[in-house]
A and B are shown apart, each in its own frame.
Chain A
Amino acid sequence: MAIVEVRNLVKRYGEVLALDHFNLQIEEGEIFGLLGPNGSGKTTSINCLLQLLTYDKGDILLFGEPMRPNSYDIKRRIGVVPQDVAVFDELSVRENIDYFCGLYVSDGARRRALVDEAIEFVGLRDYTKFRPRKLSGGLKRRLNIACGIVHKPDLIFFDEPTVAVDPQSRNAILGGIQRLNAEGATVVYTSHYMEEVEQICSRIMIMDRGESLACGTKDDLVRMVSTGEKVEVEAPDLPGGTLEALGALPFVRRISHDGTSIHLLCDNGPHNLATILGVLQERAVVFGRVYSEPPTLNDVFLEITGKELRD
């Protein structure tokens, strides 16, 4: 079942087209990654989905129902962890989480249990009486997450939740998102960090200039781009004809030798490295370290969105 369905969404800021007939479908139980450069329309699309922003055209359905500004029944099933830490500076960690839980849950006993659970989930047990200004950047992010997930929503939007946090906090956050997903929540995750998206997302959309450019699993996306596997073999002395033999392999696109190593750019294939090493052994080439680098999501992203600097 599609939890999120967006059809032909058009959003303009004056003359600027922020979303250009944007389409999106997210299935129940997914961790869906939304990737794109700055200004690509990621946050705008989420804000339109949540009805914070008006839009010029298009349909938005959440949980199979049309989403409206006053669709509170739908909103109660959604959790949002915004990009900026959006909490009360003058309330303690527990009070903040309790306040946001109270926006969804009115029963006091159930609320207390949910707040305790959320505090435990994000690891803020030792900081419940702290005010946000006393927390480190990572702890603030965890509080931001706790406020968004405390009511156990079915659909959670994470908008760049790991910006400016240390590696330990990042790991904890990503692990937490995977646990939420394992407990049944559908997650929409936007980030600039490719490795995070690769690590946790089951499907990924790359968008730019308000359009969806590519969508699928990581392997689907890698197959879409021409960037191949890079192989480097440390071999200072090469018998004559070795480079020609390697260059003759059908999957090798480019080959060079810089005096210490052989550099090969290959088409994607499951046995490239084994074939190359086989050729070297046949010719009794003495080689040292071997590196193989399959195309990454970063390569896919740069190839799809371009390498030029953005504003």
Chain B
Amino acid sequence: MWNTFKYTTLSIVRERSIVVWVLLFPLILATLFNAMFKGIDENAHDLDPIPVAIVNKSEAGADKAFQTMMDMLSEGDEALLASVEAKTSEEAQALLRDNKTIGTITLDENGWPSLELSAVSGETGVSMEQVKRTVLADVVDDFCRTRTAVEDIMENDPQAIRDPEIVRSFVRLDDYTSELRITHSQTREYVRYFYALLGFAALMAANVGLTAVGAIQPNISPLGARRAISGTGRARTLAGSIAASWLVSFLALVVAFVYIRFVLGVEFGGREAACILGIAVSALMATAFGALVGALPHVPASAKGGILSGITCLLSLFAGLYGTPALRLADQVARNAPWATAVNPVKQVSNLFYSLYVYTDLEPFFQTLGVLALTTAVFALVAALMMRRQSYASL
């Protein structure tokens, strides 16, 4: 078995197509992804000043507090708001309709603001528009709450307003507002492309298993026939070949992971050790899948590589590999047909890394690992059924 393991490993790592498709191609794709998606995602977190129309109907001096706040929020490089002056409500309405503003703030005669927001579009998920609406509503709410509190204190306990600590407490939110993170890491959508890429790379690594199994099947290659009639048992030859395939697949995936994590700087939630465990199981799944395709009877050896590539590309679509539309499609499939996700090994490998990145506990990771292990067992069983025979009706 060691003899088979050693020389199968050597022959696989020297196979040019394996080096290109299993090792180099994922690295090239990762580099392209890094150029395409990472910049987009970083820009997505920049918030431009929110355009808002101000219709001022207040009496002289009543808008002083509001104007002070607006000046503070509209100044500097990190201005939150960009006020657009509107003389009438109609003019403000027109700006809102034309999407030139997100909302309209109307000050009544006492300087109290009321807010009208732009209509909500039909899109799903959280858009930047929605974030801006929320921010604008918070600004107005906060102003009204603070002004009410100050006016209340001035009416009931005017001396208290001279205490700077009390004044500071009006504008300090941290006593009753705390940041609560519901995910393990700060979520960035672009990481999902890299996780889908690792899923794709795992299935591309199935080419290793396919090649190794092709070289031991008597009905597939003359080399397989020669090995089958040798003095070494079929089970030992198979075990040596499968072990070699797993090792090469595992190492190729580790290289891709190390490149994505440490060269491109993609986050995996700081759980690199668990990632390696996930890669080990993914490589096993890939080997079993390659063995399954490699053992298909009545299919020319040259066609099997094409079949494997076709399946890999198709399943990668439903794992969200090909950009935002594919990612949305993958999410829709996951919501509406969870079984389709469960039977998609590319998506399962992708989910392994996603669950490590997003969830605080490791249960989802181990659940996905279990699904992958089950998938591996099914692939291996079917492959074994096809490879169990030692004599053939024809070659």
Contact = CB atoms under 8 A, between A and B. Distances in A.
B14 A90 contact: yes
Interface stretch (A46-54, A160-168, A279-287): A46-54
A106 B12 CA distance: 23
Contact of A86 (B4, B222, B231, B390): B222
B230 A103 contact: yes
Interface in A79-106: 80, 82-91, 95, 98-100, 102-104, 106
Contacts of B225: 47, 52, 82, 86
A53 B394 contact: yes
A149 to B, nearest CB: 13
Given A90-B15, A91-B7, A13 B394 contact: yes
A76 interface: yes
Contact of B230 (A47, A70, A100, A106): A100
A78 B237 CA distance: 18
B297 interface: no
A84 B227 CA distance: 13
A86 B226 contact: yes
Interface string B11-49: 110110000000000000000000000000000000000
B3 interface: yes
A185 B273 CA distance: 57
A70 B237 CA distance: 13
B262 interface: no
Given A75-B230, A82-B226, 18 more contacts: A52-B229, A53-B392, A53-B393, A69-B390, A72-B233, A85-B222, A86-B226, A87-B223, A88-B11, A88-B223, A89-B11, A91-B10, A91-B14, A100-B226, A102-B4, A102-B7, A103-B231, A103-B232
Interface of A: 13, 47, 50-54, 69-70, 72, 75-76, 78, 80, 82-91, 95, 98-100, 102-104, 106, 147, 151
Interface residues of B, number: 29
A281 to B, nearest CB: 60
Interface in B198-245: 215, 218, 221-223, 225-233, 237
10 contacts: A13-B394, A47-B225, A52-B228, A52-B395, A54-B391, A54-B392, A69-B390, A84-B222, A86-B221, A88-B11
Nearest to B219: A52
A103 B227 contact: yes
A54 B3 contact: no
Q: Is chain A's interface secondary structure helix, strand, loop, or mixed overall?
A: loop
Interface of B: 3-4, 7, 10-12, 14-15, 215, 218, 221-223, 225-233, 237, 390-395
Contacts of A54: 391-393
A90 B15 CA distance: 6
Given A88-B7, A90-B14, A80 B229 contact: yes
B223 A90 contact: no
A52 B391 contact: yes
Nearest to A51: B391
A95 B394 CA distance: 30
Contacts of A50: 229
Contacts of B222: 82-86
B390 A104 contact: no
B282 to A, nearest CB: 25
Contacts of B227: 103
B218 A52 contact: yes
A284 B308 CA distance: 84
Contact of A104 (B4, B218, B231): B231
Contacts of B395: 47, 52-53
Contacts of A84: 222
Nearest to B218: A52
Nearest to B211: A90
Contacts of A70: 233, 390
Contacts of A88: 7, 11, 215, 223
Contacts of A89: 11
A72 B231 contact: yes
A159 to B, nearest CB: 10
A14 to B, nearest CB: 9
Given A54-B391, A54-B392, A91 B11 contact: yes
